Amino acid sequence: MGCSCSASSAVNLSIERQCSMMFLRLTTQLATDEFGRARDMKKFIFGRKIIVQSVLIDVWILYMGENNQASEMPKNVFKEIFGCYVSAVVKYLSQWVRNMLVLSMKSLNLNLSENDIWDIFNDCKRYIDFEIELKMTQLRDIENLSDCVWKSLEERGALNPDGTTRVDYTVFRLLFIKCAEDSWGKKKFWKNICKIVWPYISMRLMRDQT
């Protein structure tokens, strides 16, 4: 029995490590400006959707199998997946903020040079870092966040014959990232970052006009 339990734990650990690597791959790619080099936000957003879909399909197959698209994902499996996602977000949040700010400033066509953009970023970096640290504190409350996301997925889940819902392949693939980002307030967080940066952009533009 001891050997069997040990082997099972090793398999579970291997799966969790693979899941972590998948989400690290996802957040790494989203934290780069790979889709923003042409200063095209639409292209960036489209590229983001492709990456997200690809990774979530791989995660589903890893835990649920390739031919189990109608199956219900157990809550304990979801919690492990969500933990991997949060760990990856915490690791790359600072890089994501930096690159998204740079991409956004480039896409606004404000006639800011590369040096201007980095000067603006460096001028308000300490305030940005403070906002990031606050968000990371919230992200570390994984238990509460995972319960919120699970509830959101269940509410939008596939309907069972008995009237209950289940988190199946389609629900997971299409809604996991959205519900996860909603749980930690990604949109509000980004608005707060923009509120920090915009006065510095305005000052730089006014200075250049004088």
Q: What is the mean pLDDT of residues 151-160?
A: 86
pLDDT of residue 161: 78
Q: What is the mean pLDDT of residues 172-196?
A: 93
pLDDT of residue 33: 54
Q: Reply yes or no on whether the pLDDT at 163 is more than 90.
A: no
Cα–Cα distance between 197 and 120 in angstroms, integer? 8
Q: Reply yes or no on whether the pLDDT at 78 is more than 80.
A: yes
Higher-confidence residue of 69 and 26: namely 26
Cα–Cα distance between 172 and 70 in angstroms, integer? 11
pLDDT of residue 152: 93
pLDDT of residue 116: 86
| Radius of gyration for the alpha carbons in the chain, expressed in angstroms and rounded | 20
For 195, the token pair is: 């509120």
For 38, the token pair is: 């042409």
For residue range 8-61, what is the model confidence (pLDDT) as tens digits? 555 577 899 999 999 998 888 776 655 555 456 566 666 778 888 899 999 999
Q: Which of 90, 87, 121 is nearest to 105 (CA)?
A: 121
pLDDT of residue 115: 86
Q: Reply yes or no on whether the pLDDT at 166 is more than 70.
A: yes
pLDDT of residue 1: 45
Lowest mean pLDDT of 9-13, 80-84, 91-95, 203-207, name the range. Answer: 9-13
Cα–Cα distance between 57 and 66 in angstroms, integer? 9
For 132, the token pair is: 């990031």
For residue range 89-122, what is the model confidence (pLDDT) as tens digits? 999 999 889 888 887 787 777 778 888 888 898 9
Q: Please report, as a single letter, which amino acid is at residue 36.
A: G
pLDDT of residue 43: 65
Cα–Cα distance between 116 and 155 in angstroms, integer? 46
